[in-house]
Each structure stands twice: as structure tokens, then as C-alpha cells.
Amino acid sequence: MTKMGHILSAVAAGLMVTTSISSAQDLAELEAAAKAEGMLTTIALPHDWCGYGEVIAGFKAKYPEITVNELNPDAGSADELEAVRANKDNKGPQAPDVLDIGFAFGPQAQEEGLLMPYKVSTWDSIPDNVKDADGHWYGDYYGVLSFAVNTDIVENVPADWSDLLNDEYANSIALAGDPRASNQAILGVQAAGMAAGAEPGEASGTAGLDFFKQLNEKGNFVPTIGKSGTLAQGATPIVIWWDYNALSGRDALNGNPPVEVVVPASGVLAGVYVQAISAYAPHPNAAKLWMEYLYSDEGQLGWLKGYCHPIRFNDMVERGVIPQELLDALPPAESYEKAYFPTLEEQEAAKNVITSGWDSTVGANVQ
């Protein structure tokens, strides 16, 4: 795809940096400008999510002159956009430079004028259907919704969404986020609706709300944001989680307690997250350099180590640059054969139904 022809003004140390990197000289200029800024502010990047701990460490090691300021690691996608809105005129440490948000939130943020366009040097290897043509947002990685189950507490591991309604799972099941704000939780509700037979889009959102209403009325749903700690403590012995979060959480617990990760038999919903730069970024060059790192082979392999399928996965497989041990560490390929990738329109329709209808239909204040 043709690189953007216009130039964004990004003045640091007297340098002008183009919207895409086309040569080693351009990258050197970007590095110098980013180092002059001296800081990168991220938000919503838990270290146990998608291998981000190692990814951030890798960036710091490569660019020790740049301090990484990490805001609210547990924020949801809606919280990230609100942080940009709230800090439009603030060039201090509370203003995020970069965003990692759910697919449906990218166009929303673009429409509001919250995003700065930028095309990384590996732009052409990012599939067209998961990026804005002008570079406002672009897919970074994907996974599927799964069940993380504490088998010290749960004797019979659920194999599908319908199993979650069984009486034996009283006070057991949690979403890994607030479905009024978290992309992960929103897609968890949508996946349940699709498992119930609803078509992707508005219908799956409605059916998903009905499913969680039943789950809540039975007393099986726990209105606590599920994570490794609540899973291990038994407060939420079943967490509806992205497979990569569930697998890395299982590894971190190291068998204490034992955790089984299940990709459900139906309603296998794949979710793509996207990267973007804030239009009000205090450190725009550091933000662009961060994107270059994330979309390099090194950055993409960092996500893969965290069990995420990086967006350039197919390109990297074709070029033979993925170590076999990383491929072997992924769940069996057949677990993903039924995975459905909802379109942006389907996600947006379901999201609108779920975020607006959760309180009135389900009535569980997740926090």
C-alpha cells in the first residue's frame, strides 16, 4: 500500500519526522527525536497481558534514554479513550501517548478526532481488514475467549457456554472486566450470545445479555473483575478470559492452584485489539518509535511469547522467523478452527446493545 505522502509536524530536537519510516536514516531521525522527548506514557498494559511485561522491558533495554511511564494497567478500552479526552490540554504524566484498545473502539476514537495517523515501516504486512487506510489505528494481536478454571475448586470443568448455567457453578463465574467498558468483557457477552445461536451483531448482544441475566439470577455469576489473584483465591474459580491471558495466568500460578484453560465447543469468538497514537500525545515521536518496535519482528515475537497471535503472524510464518518452540507452546490448532472473527460493524452493534443494556437487563455492578 502506498505510504502516506503528507508530513506530520513532530518537532523535537529540531527534527521533522515523517508519518512512516522508509529508511534507516528516517529511523535514526525518529530515534533521536524520541530520545529528546525522553518519555513514553502508556496506559492499560498489565505485564501479564499478552507478554507486555517482556515487551516493555525489551523497549526499555533498546532505548534506555526513554522512560516508560505506565498509567492504570487495569483500565478498559473506554477508560483509555476517557484518559485522552480528559487530558487534551495536559502535557503532563497523566496524558497517555499510546493506546491499546478493542477493535470497535478504534473507529470511535478516530471519529472523535482522538487519534494521530501513523504508518509503521511494516505497514504492508498488516492485513487490510484490520487497519484504517490512513493509519489512525491498526490491529496488533488477537485471541479467542476461553474459560480459565481453578481445578482445585471446580471438579467438573465446563466444556461449553451452556454448561455455565449448571447448579454446580454457583458463585463461580466472572468476566475479566466490566462489560460496560471493557472490550474483553463485551466480547465475552457477545460470544455467549453466539453460542446460544444468535447471529453476530445486535442479536448476539441481546442474546448475550439474556444469558448473563440467567447466570446472575441463578447465582452463578460473580460481579467481580476476574484475574489471576481472584482465580487462585477461589473468589472467581471460573474466569471468562482471552486465551492468552488465561494461559499466561496459568503459567504464573505454576500449579498452585492447578488451572485448566478451555476453548469452548461453541461460541468461539476471536477478538482483535488495535494500537493507536493519541492526537494529543505529549511525546509523539516516542509514541511512533514504540509503534515501530511493536510492529518489528522482535516486538511481534514478544506478543507471541505471551500466547497472543501477533497481527503479522502469517507474514512471519511465511518468512520462517518464528522459533518452533513458540509455535509448539500455542494451544492445538483445532481449538481455533471454529473461531469467528466478527466484522467491525458486528462488533459495534453488539457493543452498543451490551454497554447500554447491561444495567437494565443483568443488573450486576461489576467492579
pLDDT tens, residue by residue, 106-151? 999 999 999 999 999 999 999 998 999 999 999 999 999 999 999 9
Task: Answer whether 24-139+273-327 and 151-269+339-361 agree in fold.
Answer: yes
Which pLDDT score is estimated for 331?
77
Which pLDDT score is estimated for 154?
97
Total-model pTM: 0.77
pLDDT tens, residue by residue, 186-239? 999 999 999 999 999 999 999 999 999 999 999 999 999 999 999 999 999 999
Which pLDDT score is estimated for 6?
25
- Report the C-alpha gap between 360 and 180 in whole angstroms: 12
Which pLDDT score is estimated for 282?
97
CATH of 24-139+273-327, one of 3.90.650.10, 3.30.750.24, 3.40.190.10, 3.10.310.40: 3.40.190.10
- Report the C-alpha gap between 208 and 210 in whole angstroms: 5
Q: Decide if 246 contacts 261 (C-beta within 8 A).
A: yes
**Can you give the three-state secondary structure of the chain, one letter per residue?**
CCCCCCCCCCCECCECCCCECCCHHHHHHHHHHHHHHCEEEEECCCCCCCCHHHHHHHHHHHCCCCEEEEECCCCCHHHHHHHHHHCCCCCCCCCCCEEEEECCHHHHHHHCCCEECCECCCHHHCCHHHECCCCCCEEEEEEEEEEEEECCCCCCCCCCHHHHHCHHHCCCEEECCCCCCCHHHHHHHHHHHHHCCCCCCHHHHHHHHHHHHHHHHHCCECCCCCCHHHHHHCCCCEEEEEHHHHHHHHHHHCCCCCEEEECCCCCCEEEEEEEEEECCCCCHHHHHHHHHHHCCHHHHHHHHHCCCEECCHHHHHHCCCCCHHHHHCCCCHHHHCCCECCCHHHHHHHHHHHHHHHHHHCCCCCC
Q: Which CATH superfamily is domain 151-269+339-361 in?
A: Periplasmic binding protein-like II (3.40.190.10)
Would you list the domain boundaries of the chain? 24-139+273-327, 151-269+339-361
Which pLDDT score is estimated for 10?
28
Where do the DSSP E strands lie in 159-285?
173-175, 238-242, 259-262, 270-278
Residues of the chain with pLDDT under 70: 1-25
